[in-house]
A and B are shown apart, each in its own frame.
Chain A
Amino acid sequence: MSCLRLCGISAIWFALHSTAVQGETAAFNLQAPATSLARLEYDLHSMLLWVTGLIFLLVSGVMLFAIVRHRKSRAYRARTFHENTTVEIIWTVIPLLILLAIAWPATRAVLSQKSTHGEDMTIRITGYQWKWRYDYLDDNFGFVSHLSTPRTATAAGAARPEHYLLEVDEPLVLPTGRKVRLLLTANDVIHSWWVPQLGVKQDAIPGFLRDAWFMVDKPGIYRGQCSELCGKDHGFMPIVVDARSPEDYARWRDARLKQAAAAADDPARVWTLAALRQRGETVYGQNCLPCHQASGKGIPGNFPALDGSPVVNGDKAAHLHIVFYGSQRNPAMQAWGKQLSDTDIAAVITYERNAWGNHSGQVIQPAEIHALRGSSG
């Protein structure tokens, strides 16, 4: 019987739910909570699972009983009743009471999710097609976090790393035991920042700021993904949070600040073709490759080819312009002037003009981008 089978499935679900949950990979239930919010959501969901599960068993049990007993093949004579006010009132009021009982803890959970005040530190998260930028507003530094699984690993039959599609080059490093307030926005379309174990999912909306909060219990790596369809590589912009003890975090932050100061590029430096081309290849891989492809051939109909393109092989002013300001015609081509440093833009343009079948031999120096930035105010 269908009912039996479904009851069986539900029973398995319950059994697995109560036993197999606490591991790192909980295949049948929410991931193990690592913040107070996530625990709140976890417990609320467990409660709902029991309530709805019992209701289902009760409803299907009564129906199953009728199906077995009240059938023509057993020569059961049909009665003719077709209303009963008392019964109807009872089965309207009881669900109402159950809902009221659910509403109370549900309301408290919503209010605690929404109390973002009293934070110890603030991170601004910006969603881009298709990567995340994290800015540590208290310390004035930030970086972009890209998927680090190589594109070749997506091919059919390729070897896939353990954290396939859930690994990044630069994780968001945070201290445990501190209330972190997130300010979320986006550059292009709506993205959504979701880390299940932290109990946070919040849309990042272009042109608006939204906030959320969490406080991580213990050090660990917590992984998540964008959960709002944001175009082609929606499935390829993971989130990794690396939670460390406050001391480890402080060490990391100091090192990071020093590194940032040392790595700051001198915009006046004059680069050689080879050095700039090498750096440009990295910048291209992180930013341009999803659309224009490693081959520079683009995706016909969607994203133009750069290999042999008249813009890339023609007058460099036009090339600079489209990279710096983006394309009016195709909004997927963003205004990279707002996102990349002068040196990175110079490097990637130099790379594009000297990669694949393009052999212009031209070098674009950071100073030229700097001048463009000056002229655009």
Chain B
Amino acid sequence: MDLAGNTAHGMVPAHKPQGLARWLFATNHKDIGSMYLWFAFCMFLVGGVLALCIRAELFSPGLQFFQPELFNQLTTLHGLIMVFGAIMPAFTGLANWMLPLMIGAPDMAFARMNNWSFWLLPPAMTLLLLSFIVPGGAAAAGWTLYAPLSVQLGMGMDLTIFAIHILGISSIMGAINIVVTIINLRAPGMRMMNMPMFAWASLITAYLIIAVMPVLAGAVTMVLTDRHFGSHFFNAAGGGDPILYQHVFWFFGHPEVYIMALPAFGIVSQVIPTFARKPLFGYSSMVYATSSIGVLSFMVWAHHMFVTGMPATAQLFFMYATMLIAVPTGVKVFNWIATMWQGSMSFETPMLFAIGFILLFTIGGLSGVTLSVAAVDVQLHGSYYVVAHFHYVLVAGALFSLFSAVYYWFPKMTGRMYVERLGQLHFWWSLLWFNVTFFPMHFLGLAGMPRRIPDYALQFTDFNRIASIGAFMFGLGQLIFLLNILYSLRHGKAAPQQPWEGANTLEWQIPTPAPYHSFNPPPQLETAENGVVLSMREGGQG
């Protein structure tokens, strides 16, 4: 096995296990990363189909396709699957694939635990999907699973609770792996304050996951014991408090928002400098801004609860703290634009999605400022305005950044180029129909349409129609992406080692496609801010 060290920079020729065993017993970060990404995409399609069911029902007033109890199950599972099945695993998959390549590590720190954290996902999602066919159907309390409603529901709720426990264990193990890899396995010369922003964002995200996933586990466990073991955490008659659930849930839930947003910031901070052919502006302020968003995310949870009847002082505290988040978030947006300013930009698909991200995420951020003002939130809370707001942040934010990342790193992962024209079509199609779907929801919310209702008053018809048409077209457009990937995997043009002129981080210094084993032993690096590699020498025996 003394292949290491024979080839330049520890690029060991592939000698990988074959067949099912390669995937079932995978310990290679690239294999596990690929499984994460494919799994996340499948779940994205499943969650998307649920969303289309919702939009089909809401195309017209009246109950056309689904009775209210099933409709509530659809909204609940759409949310849970997209958050825990699609967005989070996709980011973990990218981190798995790219982090070792970007910081010069041979693999993730705990390769076997890595296998386990992936393979926990399929059973958890199976539990969630199975819950549709148990008596009483799936959980129908919204993805927030508020007690006491979640205490009332059938056994689908129990399956959901167990699924969340398993998903939480998976996320925590994945996060520990990311933290340890970044802290311990950086190649010599890759200083923390020179790391790529994607690594910084993944690191801070991982800490958030470790901090809050146990809190969510606690919340749903209390629901479980209230349901079956006679406790009264959320029952006032037994000395409990229904609002306690919301406090515990949102102490998880708000950092969770940033768990889905910070890695997106990281991706965009890699993509923009590459295609602007100019270093990232304000690297250290980016690091500090990301960290302070991470810290502030723990202090704002009750802005999700402005209409529960908090005292004025609490409303004011959470309002001020929430408004404050706009400052570091603004710094990030300004830094990206300053990076683009006087660059030499070209607009390949990853760049298009990154620009679309900045533009639409800014809208989501600004509607967030509007929502943070407690007195205005009284009108907007629980309305379609909130639905519009968080889809601008999660679809145009997290999802667009994921598309950007996949197009960006596809050549390095597979050794082939994607079809650029299809990529551009995918972007413009998604951008158009995303806005057609979600922009009218602002109007619906302002005009007084509550979220999570299967049927609505007649004055809401027009915008619901537009949103439904947009949703179906948006969904259709994602098949362009799938087609592009499937075609390019086999027939794409061979990619050079360096497909993007302006890319200068470590992953572009190794052959394309990335060899099965890389950086073993790690190289000696000289680096600059944001992971830029100035020089690389072959490392000693690691």
Q: Least Cβ distance of B34 to chain A in Å? A: 31
With the chains together, A235 CA to B142 CA distance in Å? 14
Which A149-188 residues have a C-beta within 8 angstroms of B?
A: 153-158, 160, 162-166, 184, 188
Task: Judge whether B390 is part of the interface by a CB distance below 8 angstroms.
Answer: no
Task: Judge whether A352 is part of the interface by a CB distance below 8 angstroms.
Answer: no
With the chains together, A1 CA to B79 CA distance in Å? 31
Please state if A205 and B137 are interface contacts (CB–CB under 8 Å).
no
Task: Judge whether A66 is part of the interface by a CB distance below 8 angstroms.
Answer: yes
Chain A residue, CB-CB nearest to B281: A82
- Other-chain residue from B69, B236, B355, B379 in contact with A232 (beta carbon distance below 8 A): B69
What class of interface size applies to chain B in its complex with A?
A: 35 or more
Residues of A within 8 A of B320 (CB): 103
Task: Judge whether B387 is part of the interface by a CB distance below 8 angstroms.
Answer: no
Please state if A27 and B382 are interface contacts (CB–CB under 8 Å).
no
With the chains together, A141 CA to B72 CA distance in Å? 35
Please state if B359 and A2 are interface contacts (CB–CB under 8 Å).
yes
Contacts A2-B356, A205-B242: A154 and B63 contacting too (C-beta < 8 A)?
A: yes
Residues of B within 8 A of A121 (CB): none
Of A47-55, A260-268, A271-279, A354-362, the one touching chain B: A47-55
Please state if A78 and B379 are interface contacts (CB–CB under 8 Å).
no
Residues of B within 8 A of A82 (CB): 278-283, 339, 529
With the chains together, A154 CA to B458 CA distance in Å? 12
Q: Least Cβ distance of A110 to chain B in Å? A: 5
Residues of A within 8 A of B367 (CB): 52
Please state if B343 and A192 are interface contacts (CB–CB under 8 Å).
no
- Other-chain residue from A113, A154, A157, A229 in contact with B452 (beta carbon distance below 8 A): A229
Residues of A within 8 A of B362 (CB): 56, 59-60
Residues of B within 8 A of A192 (CB): 307, 382
Given A72-B277, A192-B307, A205-B242, 19 additional A-B pairs, CB 8 A? A6-B363, A25-B459, A26-B446, A27-B459, A55-B366, A66-B341, A67-B345, A71-B347, A77-B344, A78-B343, A78-B344, A83-B281, A166-B457, A201-B379, A203-B308, A227-B451, A228-B382, A229-B72, A229-B149
Give B residues with C-beta under 8 Å from A: 60-64, 67-69, 72, 135-137, 140-142, 146, 148-149, 151-152, 154, 235-237, 241-243, 276-285, 307-309, 311-312, 315-316, 319-320, 323-324, 326-327, 330-331, 333-334, 337-347, 355-356, 358-359, 362-363, 366-367, 369-370, 373-376, 378-379, 381-383, 431-432, 435, 439, 442-443, 446-448, 450-459, 462-463, 529
- Identify 27 residue pairs between A and B in the complex whose beta-carbon atoms are under 8 Å apart, listed by A's number: A5-B435, A6-B435, A27-B443, A27-B459, A44-B376, A45-B376, A66-B337, A66-B342, A67-B340, A70-B342, A71-B346, A80-B279, A99-B369, A155-B62, A156-B62, A164-B61, A184-B309, A190-B242, A194-B382, A203-B309, A210-B308, A224-B448, A227-B382, A229-B451, A231-B152, A234-B68, A301-B137
